[in-house]
Structure 1
């Protein structure tokens, strides 16, 4: 996946984030874009399908027409959903890791206390 910056040339004010993105290597942007987990991709897919409608493409010849602004809003919404879900996935993983570390520490403390009782 390669990010296309051509559409950004119409902006009036310089955007520091866009400038930063333009400085990145294409491989870096591609790696980041592909880093979304299958769970996040599934949620975003269902979200976009819900926004566009869920008609079966096997039974219907579906065409969606919109203007540039509405399409940009749809894409921005999908991107923000992806960002939010990625952050929540990281938070979930941190909580799981923290809980595991707490459990291991409490077991280690219990084992040490039992060993001291046995020695004393």
Structure 2
């Protein structure tokens, strides 16, 4: 049996060499910049992201259940990647909606 607990997930392989430029870029960002990029641009996007993550993790009400989630690095990485892709999708949809609204205001 191979112990892969200390290995990077497949989508981060090569992050330390020239092929990991995105990871290097993100690691070079100031904490304030990361915080600003991490904030949803609207309450609606925040609500959709919360629902998405709750859907992925399970939606038991915390006031009624003592929920603890355990996972490994790779699964957590996949969850993060899924949340990021959802965020990119929602940001694009929000920008398109704003563009369509501004276009309809011009006509």
Tell me the TM-score normalized by structure 1.
0.68
Summarize deviations over 1:22-67 as a string: whole Å, max 9, x none: 4443333322222532111111110111111111111111111111
1:13 alignment counterpart:
17
Structure 2: tracts of 5 or more residues without a match: 1-7
Aligned-residue RMSD, C-alpha = 2.2
Larger radius of gyration: 1
Q: Deviations over 1:78-110 (max 9, x none)?
A: 1110111001100110000001111xxxxxxxx
Q: Which has the higher contact order (CA 8 A, sep 6+)?
A: 2
The answer to which structure has the higher helix fraction is: 1
1:1-120 map, 5 Å: 11-14=15-18, 15-102=20-107
**TM-score for the superposition, normalised by structure 2:** 0.75
State the alpha-carbon separation in 2 of the partners of residues 52 and 79 from structure 1: 15
